Amino acid sequence: MEWTASGAEAAFKHLNRVWQLCDKIANMDKNQSGEGDKDLLRALHKTIVDVTSGVESFGFNAAIAKLYGFTATLAKSKAGYAAQHEAIRTLAQLMAPMTPHLAEDIWAHQGGQGLIANAPWPKADPELLIEDEVTLPIQINGKRRDEITVAKDMSKEELEALVLQNNAVMKALDGATPKKLVIVPGRIVNVVI
């Protein structure tokens, strides 16, 4: 590996950012509500899964990349205090094996009991890991032209209607009716013209 001064500088900046985030959340109104609580918690629990598997397989760089990603998500989040509080505490736990001193300090500031070193490792909530949206590729005559993100349980009829309003499909049809519209739910859409 290459050890460069700029790399160390970047690492320091990131840890400082996590620290500031902790400070910001600690100063929030404890009753404050917000938007996107569930999105934040979903992202958090996905991060628990990814970091856990990274640590267990010596994929430390991958785990760290996920932690960078989640820190950015948390920084942008407009979620309420409870969700943000849970997020920063869990983030500290996930960082604790790597940056144990910073993690202990965040833990203490966020009302953690005892030492974070002794706290049980966070467990991902399976409920929060279920993806409720799905992205389907749209093919026109067998070639991929676009994709569409829809609710996982959307009916075939609803999906057909949406596909026909898709820009790429409308342009290709140019007002005509498709010869065939093949929809494999959860997998793919194929428009035959």
Partner 1 sequence: MSSYSPAEIEAKWQEAWAKGETFKAVATADRPKYYVLEMFPYPSGRIHMGHVRNYTMGDVIARYKLSTGHNVLHPMGWDAFGMPAENAAMAIGGHPKEWTYDNIATMRTQMKPLGLSIDWSREFATCDPEYYGQQQALFLDMLANGLVYRKNAMVNWDPVDMTVLANEQVIDGKGWRSNAEVERRELTQWFFNISSMSGELLSALDGLENWPAKVRLMQENWIGQSRGLEMTFPLTTPQDGHEGITVYTTRPDTLVGASFIGLAANHPLTQSLAAQNPALAEFCAECKKMDTTEAAMEKAEKKGFDTGITVQNPLGGAPLPVWVANFVMMDYGTGAIFACPAHDQRDLDFARKYDLPVIDTFFALNDDTPVTDVAFVPAKTETVRWVNQPAGLQEATGQEAIDATIDWAEAQGLGIGKTQYRLRDWGLSRQRYWGCPIPVVHCDSCGVVPEKKENLPVRLPDDVTFDIPGNPLDRHPTWRNCACPACGKAARRETDTMDTFVDSSWYYARFTAPNAATPTDMAEASYWMNVDQYIGGVEHAILHLLYSRFFARAMQICGHLPPSAIEPFDALFTQGMVTHAIYKSEGKDGRPVYHYPEEVALRDGKAFLLDGGAEVTIVPSAKMSKSKNNVVDPISIISSYGADTARWFVLSDSPPSAMWSGPLLVRKRRLSI
Q: State how far the Cα of 165 lies from the Cα of 105, in Å rounded to an integer.
A: 53
Axis-axis angle for helices 60-76, 81-95 (nearest 10): 160
Is residue 186 near partner 1 by the rule CB under 8 A? no
Tell me how far, at minimum, the Cβ of 69 lies from partner 1, in Å. Answer: 13
Provide CB contacts within 8 A for 190, sequence distance 6+. Answer: 138, 139, 140, 142, 180, 181, 182, 183
**Per rule CB under 8 A, is residue 8 in the interface with partner 1?**
yes
| 93-132 footprint of partner 1 as x/- string (CB under 8 A) | x--xxxxxxx-xx---x-----x-xxxxx-----------
Cβ-based nearer residue to partner 1, 26 or 168: 26
The DSSP code sequence of 98-125 is TSHHHHHHHHHHTT--S-GGGSPPP---
Q: How far is the CB of 193 from partner 1 (least distance, A)?
A: 46
28 binds partner 1 (CB under 8 A): no
Residues 63-82 that bind partner 1 (CB under 8 A): 64-65
CB of 54 to partner 1, least distance (A): 10
Neighbours of 86 (CB within 10 A): 18
| Per-residue exposure over 32-50, b if at least 16 CB sit within 10 Å of its own CB, e if not | eeeebbeebbbbbbbbbeb
Is residue 142 classed as helix, strand or coil in its secondary structure? Answer: coil
Cβ atoms of 88 and 22 within 8 Å: the answer is yes
Taking the least distance from each CB to partner 1, the nearer of 33 and 57 is 57
33, 38, 60, 151: residue in contact with partner 1 (rule CB under 8 A): 60
144 near partner 1, rule: CB under 8 A: no
Q: How far is the CB of 123 from partner 1 (least distance, A)?
A: 10
Query: Which residue, 20 or 33, has its beta carbon nearer to partner 1?
Result: 20
Side-chain-side CA neighbours of 107 within 13 Å: the count stands at 21
- Binding site residues, partner 1, CB under 8 A: 1-9, 11-12, 14-16, 19-20, 22-23, 26, 55-56, 58-62, 64-65, 93, 96-102, 104-105, 109, 115, 117-121
